[in-house]
Structure 1
Amino acid sequence: MPSKAGFLEHPIRSLITCFVSWKTLLLLIATCSPGQGYDTSTSLLLSSHDPTGAPPLPVALHYLVSKLTRWDAIYYVRVANRGYLFEQEWAFGWGFTSLINLCTAILLKAGIPHYHGLEGLVAVCIAHTAHLLSVLVLFKLTAAVFPSSSSTPGLALTASLLHIISPAGLFLSSPFAESSCALLSFLGCYLFTKSVRSGGQPTIGHDLLVFASGVVFGLATTLRSNGIFNGLLLLEEALRNLFYFRSGPPLVKIRRLVATGLGGLCVGAGFLLPQYIAYSEYCTQTSVQSRPWCEKTLPSIYTFVQEHYWNVGPFRYWTLSNVPLFLLATPMLLIMTISGVWALSYESAITPGSLRAKKAPSAGPEAEAFPVLRNLAVTQILLTLLTFTTAHVQIITRISSAYPIWMWFLAMSFRKGNSSYANSAVRIIVMYGIIQAGLLASFLPPA
């Protein structure tokens, strides 16, 4: 194991080494987990008796994919294989199923045989690749949000290591959209942060970056609906530029506002496009009986199927039988709430495009953080509140993987020597990740 100095000297190599080690451990636990579990959905999905006559995957790959294709992953793989057929399938990200389908088509064009279950293997590869890339992008994002600090390399490395052992655990290795959503969320935040100029007026290059961040956030939203919260960064930027119109609309502010507005439209499109596709299929066909959600003022198949098929809604999950799931989610609910409040109270009261460090160079990283820190804190708190009151609360352990504030909070705790709380949090996360790998692979709850 490399020394601390070795980690800092070669951070990317160190992150890749730790990533491979952690993934290997989780996959070993998954492959050694007993039986198919109490649900036969995976075995039916990957059955060797394929009606199209496609050959099955090689035995080792078939076994690995069968251990990772559980719960929601079954929907993703099935839809990627034959498209959306049943209404409830629209609860699962159109963007991720399209990505699996696209990558599978590229492999087939390259001459790879169309094995039965190939979509599952492709999805597993996408999940691993996206998780690794999200770790590396988080490293760059942390350095961008906390610039010019002597502790930045160690802070960025620690935060990225925390993302490797994220409580999402095996969900980031399986055919789920979480790792891809995390990658695009971090990348969008990085592009947005780089678009904020630390001195002077933003250039056209900076405006293109803020627009690009909106495009990336829009793609993240097609993967998971909570990706739309990233749009709050662009909304704040738009309002900030409108504020300067009081003294007349300077050209540079108009340009910035247009770029931000176009980026915001891309975020909205990421949510609305799948809804439009579903609306065209269910609500405009005269030969098909119209569904109840088609008559809504704002027809959304996603919100309908979540409510109708999964009973998602305010306080619907608050039942006695779900108390164990609330207890399971409690550590991450607390970590995300505490870290969100920490970021809101962070000493970073800075104006757009300037750093407080300019006024107080010795103030340290607390004074150098970009305004993105506070905005992401609001997003994280909103997500935590929404999950606690409305959603299936246990999913907080996996959707938290796309929100960097709690990782920065724990990383900063380690860097400042306040490691007691951080050590306890990491122990819980690691223990949960190991136990969860065995449960998920055995098709046992929670999920």
Structure 2
Amino acid sequence: MAAGPDGPISRWSRSCQLQPAPSLALFYAAWKALLALVVLGCPAPGYDTSITVLTGTHAAPAISKFIRWDSIYFLQAAQRGYVYEQEWAFSYTYSSLVRWLASAATTKARHFAAIAVTGVAVSHVSHALSVLILWWLSRTVLGSETASQRTWCLVSAALHVISPAGAFLSAPYSEPVFACVHFLGLSLYAMALRADHAGHWARRDASWVAAGIAFALATLIRSNGILSGCLFAYDAIEAARELLSHGLSVALVRRMLFIGLGGGIIALAMFGAQFAGYLSYCTATDSPRPWCQQLVPSIYNWVQSHYWNVGFLRYWTLSNLPLFLLAAPMLALLAASSLSAWQHRLGTNQPDPVRRALLTRIAIPQALLAFLALTTYHVQTINRISSGYPLWYWYVASLGIEFNSRIFPRVVQGMAIYGLVQAALFGSFLPPA
């Protein structure tokens, strides 16, 4: 797996340089087909038979194999909306997208089977698009002037194909849609910083606003999307430093205005989702729920804590130790890649001040995600949630391209093996989920 002139990475990259998108699409199709064979080859229906009750005779067995764990909640919400309070833990934006697409595709959109087929299709298409968007994002951040940079971008996108999220990126889950929208938001944000460096103010301002909209949508799909608001917070701090150092100017006021606008759109999305819950449970009933009396009433925080036992150090029990061990490799990759970006050890072969600034910023939400997964979330979910964060892909790719490290093939082999084993567990309705 060496990255030298005659190594497999270089040979593969040279063969893909002329048609990178079709090459990534072919690799994607091959991996998805392999995962599907593993999932479909699992014994059905597994230990949980709820899916057979929900689908009845309408869903093909092939589709029902992809309906596991949280996807049941997502698809039920898509079929008939929220009914129970605990369902607010699952994105209504994602479920609404599936329902709308199912309605556009078939007159039987209210049938659970039609919803399920649409959900599987949405995940496959979203994952395919996110691979291409990550390739575009990588070119925007890392550059594409040299053969080494182009290889770096291609390998990073290919790594997203075999992400440890595995079968979760084929099933009706929010992760593939989140990755697609989140990568788009990061691409727009990177364009804003590139335009700022080049002095193209109009393009910068438009890109900042567009990035804010994309991150807002990502937040509505998965709540961890709010972490990307840290990018605008970082820019706001930089603008405040400039204000203290050089005083007020028209250019600085303009910069602060659009930074605030981009970040404000993200905050508005999160507030809007919580406000909808507040209206449903706190003002439209004579028996408001306990969380309505909290200083900051949040239905999402209440549901996660009350029904799913999510909270600071709550998951730190001896019985969960195997899950921490399962998540340890990904947590280590997230930490190592964030630290590498902060220490400016990524992309050292071709120094670029804008790339350095971007990597430093992009490392912040990823590091926060790793910290929250370790201390607060159900830790094993980091193996799928991390799929929507690009920095660790760049870090792993750099191990093979920049440093020719022996760690690179081991990481890639580990990702592939884990993806296949996880697909078998997923198809059999067995944890971890």
Q: TM-score interval w.r.t. the shorter chain? A: over 0.9
Counterpart-to-counterpart distance in 1, 2:104 and 2:248: 48
Deviation at 1:377, TM superposition (A): 1.2
Counterpart-to-counterpart distance in 1, 2:256 and 2:86: 38
Classify 1:163/1:252 alpha carbon distance in 2 versus 1 (closer, same or farther; 3 Å). same
1:272-421 alignment runs, 5 A limit: 272-287=271-286, 289-346=287-344, 364-365=350-351, 369-421=355-407
Q: Unpaired segments of 5 or more residues in structure 1? A: 49-55, 349-356
Are 2:42 and 2:424, in contact at CA under 8 Å, matched by a contact in 1? Answer: yes
Counterpart-to-counterpart distance in 2, 1:190 and 1:44: 42
Counterpart-to-counterpart distance in 1, 2:303 and 2:42: 32
Deviation at 1:382, TM superposition (A): 1.4
Return the match for 1:46 from 43, 52, 55: 55
Are 2:216 and 2:270, in contact at CA under 8 Å, matched by a contact in 1? Answer: yes
Q: Report SS of the residue matched to 1:371.
A: helix
Task: For 2:128, give the aligned amino acid.
Answer: L
Counterpart-to-counterpart distance in 1, 2:13 and 2:313: 46
Aligned position for 1:131? 127
1:420-431 alignment runs, 5 A limit: 420-431=406-417
Q: Report SS of the residue matched to 2:307.
A: helix
Deviation at 1:112, TM superposition (A): 6.7
CA-to-aligned-CA distance 1:167-216 (integer Å, 9 cap, x gap): 00000010000011111111101101111126453422210110110000
Q: Is residue 22 of structure 2 the alignment partner of residue 13 of structure 1?
A: yes
Deviation at 1:426, TM superposition (A): 1.2
Task: For 1:89, give the aligned amino acid.
Answer: E
Aligned position for 2:418? 432
Aligned position for 2:252? 253
Aligned position for 1:29? 38
Classify 1:414/1:200 alpha carbon distance in 2 versus 1 (closer, same or farther; 3 Å). closer
Classify 1:113/1:302 alpha carbon distance in 2 versus 1 (closer, same or farther; 3 Å). closer
Aligned position for 1:158? 155
Q: Report SS of the residue matched to 1:117.
A: helix
Deviation at 1:149, TM superposition (A): 4.5
Deviation at 1:419, TM superposition (A): 2.9
- Report which stretch shifted further, 373-382 or 386-395: 373-382
Are 1:80 and 1:97, in contact at CA under 8 Å, matched by a contact in 2? Answer: yes
Aligned position for 2:69? 71
- Report which stretch shifted further, 400-409 or 412-421: 412-421
Are 2:152 and 2:394, in contact at CA under 8 Å, matched by a contact in 1? Answer: yes
Deviation at 1:347, TM superposition (A): 5.2
Deviation at 1:138, TM superposition (A): 0.7
- Report which stretch shifted further, 334-343 or 217-226: 334-343
Counterpart-to-counterpart distance in 1, 2:271 and 2:189: 22
Classify 1:46/1:441 alpha carbon distance in 2 versus 1 (closer, same or farther; 3 Å). same
Deviation at 1:251, TM superposition (A): 2.2
Classify 1:64/1:333 alpha carbon distance in 2 versus 1 (closer, same or farther; 3 Å). same
Counterpart-to-counterpart distance in 2, 1:367 and 1:296: 45
CA-to-aligned-CA distance 1:352-381 (integer Å, 9 cap, x gap): xxxxx9xxxx95156662412111212211
Aligned position for 1:352? none
Counterpart-to-counterpart distance in 1, 2:83 and 2:338: 40
User: TM-score, structure 2 length as denominator?
Assistant: 0.93
Counterpart-to-counterpart distance in 2, 1:366 and 1:416: 15
Deviation at 1:105, TM superposition (A): 2.4
Classify 1:22/1:365 alpha carbon distance in 2 versus 1 (closer, same or farther; 3 Å). farther
Are 1:131 and 1:172, in contact at CA under 8 Å, matched by a contact in 2? Answer: yes
Deviation at 1:408, TM superposition (A): 0.4
Deviation at 1:324, TM superposition (A): 1.1
Q: Aligned pairs, how many?
A: 421
CA-to-aligned-CA distance 1:129-177 (integer Å, 9 cap, x gap): 1111111111111111112541211000000000000000000010000
Are 1:77 and 1:97, in contact at CA under 8 Å, matched by a contact in 2? Answer: yes
Task: For 1:124, give the aligned amino acid.
Answer: V
Aligned position for 2:173? 176
Counterpart-to-counterpart distance in 2, 1:90 and 1:17: 37
Classify 1:279/1:318 alpha carbon distance in 2 versus 1 (closer, same or farther; 3 Å). same
Please give the root-mean-square deviation of Cα atoms over the aligned residues, in Å. 2.0
Classify 1:153/1:282 alpha carbon distance in 2 versus 1 (closer, same or farther; 3 Å). same
Task: For 1:120, give the aligned amino acid.
Answer: A
Counterpart-to-counterpart distance in 2, 1:84 and 1:286: 16
Are 2:156 and 2:394, in contact at CA under 8 Å, matched by a contact in 1? Answer: yes
Are 1:37 and 1:444, in contact at CA under 8 Å, matched by a contact in 2? Answer: yes
Are 1:139 and 1:159, in contact at CA under 8 Å, matched by a contact in 2? Answer: yes
Counterpart-to-counterpart distance in 2, 1:199 and 1:307: 44
